[in-house]
Structure 1
Amino acid sequence: MIANPLTILAAAAVDWTTCPLTAEVEHHARRSVLDWFAALIPGCANGPALMLAAAMASERGKGCAVSYVDGGTGAPRHAAMLNGTASHTAEFDDIFRDGGYHPGSPTISAALAVAQDVGATQEQFLRAVIGGFEVGCRIAMALQPSHYRNWHITATVGTISAAVSTAMLMGGTAETIAHAIAIATSFAGGHQENLQGEGVTKPMHSGHAADAGVLAGLAAAAGITGSLNSLHAPHGYAAATSDCTGNWDVGLEGLGDWTPITRMTFKNHGCCGHIFPTLDGLIVMQGQHGFSRQDVKSITVRGYGPTKSICDRLHVESARDARFSLQYCSAALLMLGGVRRAAFTPEVLVNQEIRAFMPRVMVIEDPEIAALYPRRRQARLRVELNDGMVLEHHQETRKGDPNDPLTDAELIAKFDELVTTVLDEISCEALKAMILKPGPLPDVLPIKNRLTAAD
């Protein structure tokens, strides 16, 4: 039995403030920040973050943290809330596969806001991101898969990651970080209905996690304490949100030998990651057999639990619904050749050919594949063609996962595709250079179509 996972994780986080930063780990951290901005920028031009910015205009406060949504500076909690919401809007943010968790959106939103406010160096910022990922991703592994049944783990564990990064940037000791984790466990929330159901609250889950995490980190830095048994006690966080008090042998496996930021998944499709094995499998099958959408009579997908419970969705009324519909994304892939931003434009969302194809796609939970989740994300596909031919394929991985990663060139191409829809080319190149090379932290960006309080 692990003695106290909370204090062990806090010690691991504080180590990242001073330990040697290898070129490999730094490179992976920069990739994560680049991908965060790629997901963030589209959400600064469209989505709930703009409405939230207007609603929260009077709460900006004083400070140097940048809200990329409305182009102003203010208190770090304000910026973290808006940027966290924006970066979880377009559904292009990163994934820690083994924990089923999107760490970048809440963690980097909080870390960058606090770093800007306290005048941290770029290296201090990157170290705080690495430490926040270390703690959050390992807690996610310890809670899953049962936590995800009712809780949105990016909303919940994201609060803890953000708290760790904040406490690190505030110069916290291991004890300070431990109390930040403990406090954050009481702030962590966000349930599955607001992920799976109607409405546009889901992006705010990440924004709230970033905001609440900053609050927890600042509180701990000010000397406020929490119970250091908050993670594993019988009435603690793991017990309240999963089937046990935490599988800490899994969560702490390899601590000190590898760090989660080196094992990130970066999205190659602009939709829910639970749909990826299906899309990747269809791409492979089309490459092998050359069929088109018009040739397909039916598609049967056998996947793991969330493939069925979250993504078996024929009722699609919005871009948000479409990003969580395996039926819609499969049809869009076969029609457009890809599932990126173009698949969710208003004109494509009402395309009758896509809508007519969607009922041909059936989703079934496969017990063997489900047993491998979350560390393996697979799908078995059966495609029946109109001429009677039946094609089958077992997709064992996802493009973008650690065992089939996006190259630096592919990640940069994704960044360029998403960011140049909002920024001009010169601003895009300047931002990219700031992220990928030592230098200053990114500052205010010239976002087009920005909604301000004056609007």
Structure 2
Amino acid sequence: MRNESKVPFPESELIRLCRRPVAPGVSRLARLTLLDWFGCVLAARYAPVARAMARTIHAHNEDILRLALTSIDTDAQTAALALGTLGNVLEMDDLHRASILHPGDAICAAGLATALRQPVSGPELLSAITRGYDVAIRVGVAAAAGGYTPFYNSSTCGVFGAAITCADLAGLDAEGMADALGQAGMQAAGIWQCRLEPTFSKQLATAHAARAGVFAAELAAAGFPGARAILTGEMGFFASYYPEADQSALTVPRAWAITEMSFKPYPACRHTHSAISAMLDLREEGMDGAVERIDIHTHSAALEFCDQPHPTNPNAARFSLQHAVATAALRGAPAISDFEGDALNNPDIEVLRACIHVHIDDVIDAAFPRDYGARIVVRMQDGTRIERACPAAWGDPENPMRDADLVAKFHANASHGGLSLRAADTLVHAIMDLPDAINMSALRAALNDAFSPEPEFE
């Protein structure tokens, strides 16, 4: 039998912090996080990457969600792999700015896959997700101290949160959580080369992180010891992956990190959202006449990721400041269809994209990654000049989406994924009622109704 506490500081303090009680108000926020992530998953249900992963895991009729959500024959690791594939496909997944991390892609996937296969209550699931977010984001804030690195934080840091979520659902104590954290670190993976080429590897990274989180917790529950200094040791995660990390961020006293999330109302890279918001404000105020030139001033990472004046496919369009802002100017709030098909070759949008120029603003750049702001200057052909700055896009904590906005986003995404209004509404109620749910029965029933003609979960 192991001694009661062999976990070294700061890992021991990190685990202590994540094990503190979760207040009901925070759990109610966590249900919105789960709802938002699940809507993103639904919207990507029939995407090419979903079908490719479905073939890989032998899903009947290439229906990856039915396999993950309604089949008693599917184990939690496989379900997490399936669900973790879809959250980031359409670029609508939540974001924590300071950690440059989309935690839901791995954590919600692992948590839901596990909860559907264990006797847990709604509050237990929401508390576990909250704890997972806290650990992943603390690790991510430390890792992102110097901005972007070659590693993809959503997977490399997200795996730690996924492991803690699943360990909490399994009822593991602090020692068991330490084992899960250690095994998660051994599986941390994901590098940014995937964004420089046309691959599905970004989705693989979050899918792997979700599955690895489940596996790490299962190993810990089985008595599989993990490294206690996996994060801060001399050959640990930070030394190996993020040598410039600010390790003090691991244990800084703070509110639950899930309260700091940004939600994405538009299906485009988050680096475009402040520019979209600024353009929508200008459009609402009225832009009379023909546009001669639009200048976008923003942070350097936005240009590194999203300076694509001539996108030729949906993924490139979702990472194009020029396309996103031109769409906002001409059509209003961008929808999924605005980044697909004929929208990419729309003559009016093509003309306006050519008028858009992007620049680094030193003040905005200095605030990154704490803030992802943008400023837009529009010059009309009659010489009129109008300008709008947006330090916080709609969906940021400083400019939040309301509960009703997030529900509306879920319905739009569910419709895109082929769900009926009735099925989507049933899912909304099941997820929103989780704070009072004594078990997963209502959510299982809603999932069976949505995805399986012959329910398998009982």
- TM-score, length-normalised on structure 1? 0.89
Aligned to 2:71: 72
The question of 1:335 aligning with 2:333 is answered: no
* Among 416, 420, 426, the residue aligned to 1:424: 420
Distance 1:233 1:364, change over 3 A: farther
Aligned to 2:160: 160
Give the secondary-structure state (helix, strand or coil) at the position aligned to 1:394: strand
For residues 164 and 30 of structure 1, the distance between their equivalents in structure 2, rounded to whole angstroms, comes to 18
- Checking the alignment, whether the CA contact within 8 Å between 2:68 and 2:80 is kept in structure 1 is no
Amino acid at match of 2:54: A
Deviation of the 1:433 alpha carbon: 0.7
Distance 1:446 1:358, change over 3 A: farther
For residues 201 and 339 of structure 1, the distance between their equivalents in structure 2, rounded to whole angstroms, comes to 26
Deviation of the 1:248 alpha carbon: 3.1
The question of 1:110 aligning with 2:102 is answered: no
Q: Deviations over 1:4-41 (max 9, x none)?
A: 232211222333xxx2x433111101111111111110
Give the secondary-structure state (helix, strand or coil) at the position aligned to 1:97: coil
Aligned to 2:361: 366
Deviation of the 1:254 alpha carbon: 2.5
Amino acid at match of 1:387: D
The question of 1:122 aligning with 2:118 is answered: no
Matches within 5 A, 1:159-198: 159-198=159-198
* Among 2, 11, 28, the residue aligned to 2:16: 11
- Checking the alignment, whether the CA contact within 8 Å between 2:145 and 2:246 is kept in structure 1 is no
* Among 411, 415, 419, the residue aligned to 2:406: 411
The question of 1:270 aligning with 2:271 is answered: no
The question of 1:324 aligning with 2:329 is answered: no
Aligned to 1:57: 58
Deviation of the 1:126 alpha carbon: 1.2
Q: Answer with 352-361 or 398-407: which moved more.
A: 352-361
- Checking the alignment, whether the CA contact within 8 Å between 2:184 and 2:216 is kept in structure 1 is yes
For residues 67 and 10 of structure 1, the distance between their equivalents in structure 2, rounded to whole angstroms, comes to 34
Q: Answer with 177-186 or 66-75: which moved more.
A: 66-75
- Checking the alignment, whether the CA contact within 8 Å between 1:190 and 1:205 is kept in structure 2 is yes
For residues 281 and 226 of structure 1, the distance between their equivalents in structure 2, rounded to whole angstroms, comes to 48
For residues 215 and 59 of structure 2, the distance between their equivalents in structure 1, rounded to whole angstroms, comes to 18
Distance 1:349 1:145, change over 3 A: farther
Q: Answer with 151-160 or 347-356: which moved more.
A: 347-356
Give the secondary-structure state (helix, strand or coil) at the position aligned to 1:148: coil
Distance 1:332 1:207, change over 3 A: same
Amino acid at match of 1:342: S
Amino acid at match of 2:412: E
Aligned to 2:258: 261
Aligned to 1:286: 283
Deviation of the 1:66 alpha carbon: 7.1
Give the secondary-structure state (helix, strand or coil) at the position aligned to 1:300: strand
Amino acid at match of 1:151: F
For residues 68 and 98 of structure 1, the distance between their equivalents in structure 2, rounded to whole angstroms, comes to 35
Aligned to 2:378: 383
Give the secondary-structure state (helix, strand or coil) at the position aligned to 1:99: coil
- Checking the alignment, whether the CA contact within 8 Å between 2:68 and 2:113 is kept in structure 1 is no
Aligned to 1:24: 25
Deviation of the 1:423 alpha carbon: 0.8
Give the secondary-structure state (helix, strand or coil) at the position aligned to 2:386: strand
For residues 204 and 349 of structure 1, the distance between their equivalents in structure 2, rounded to whole angstroms, comes to 26
Quick one: percent identity of the two aligned structures?
Answer: 26
CA RMSD of aligned residues (A): 2.3
Distance 1:162 1:280, change over 3 A: same
Q: Deviations over 1:332-355 (max 9, x none)?
A: 212221112121231212323222
Matches within 5 A, 1:191-340: 191-244=191-244, 246-255=245-254, 258-288=255-285, 290-291=286-287, 295-340=290-335
Q: Deviations over 1:235-279 (max 9, x none)?
A: 3212222242x3133343334xx1011221111111111111111
Amino acid at match of 1:362: H
Q: Deviations over 1:78-111 (max 9, x none)?
A: 1101111112212111111221211112101001
Give the secondary-structure state (helix, strand or coil) at the position aligned to 2:44: helix
Amino acid at match of 1:47: P
Deviation of the 1:186 alpha carbon: 2.2
Give the secondary-structure state (helix, strand or coil) at the position aligned to 2:296: strand
For residues 392 and 167 of structure 1, the distance between their equivalents in structure 2, rounded to whole angstroms, comes to 50
For residues 361 and 287 of structure 1, the distance between their equivalents in structure 2, rounded to whole angstroms, comes to 19
Amino acid at match of 2:259: T
Amino acid at match of 1:346: G
- Checking the alignment, whether the CA contact within 8 Å between 1:13 and 1:174 is kept in structure 2 is no
Give the secondary-structure state (helix, strand or coil) at the position aligned to 2:294: strand
Distance 1:58 1:325, change over 3 A: closer
For residues 159 and 191 of structure 2, the distance between their equivalents in structure 1, rounded to whole angstroms, comes to 14
Amino acid at match of 1:404: N
Amino acid at match of 2:48: G
Deviation of the 1:196 alpha carbon: 4.1
Distance 1:355 1:239, change over 3 A: farther
Give the secondary-structure state (helix, strand or coil) at the position aligned to 1:45: coil
Aligned to 2:4: none
- Checking the alignment, whether the CA contact within 8 Å between 1:67 and 1:83 is kept in structure 2 is no
Distance 1:235 1:295, change over 3 A: farther
For residues 76 and 39 of structure 1, the distance between their equivalents in structure 2, rounded to whole angstroms, comes to 20
- TM-score, length-normalised on structure 2? 0.89
Distance 1:40 1:247, change over 3 A: same
Aligned to 1:62: none
Aligned to 2:3: none
Amino acid at match of 1:344: F
Give the secondary-structure state (helix, strand or coil) at the position aligned to 1:302: strand
Q: Deviations over 1:36-66 (max 9, x none)?
A: 111110111223122211221189xxxxx97
For residues 44 and 448 of structure 2, the distance between their equivalents in structure 1, rounded to whole angstroms, comes to 13
Q: Answer with 232-241 or 332-341: which moved more.
A: 232-241
Q: Answer with 397-406 or 311-320: which moved more.
A: 311-320
- Checking the alignment, whether the CA contact within 8 Å between 2:292 and 2:380 is kept in structure 1 is yes
| Unmatched tracts of structure 2, length 5 or more | 1-7, 454-458
* Count of aligned residue pairs for this structure pair: 434
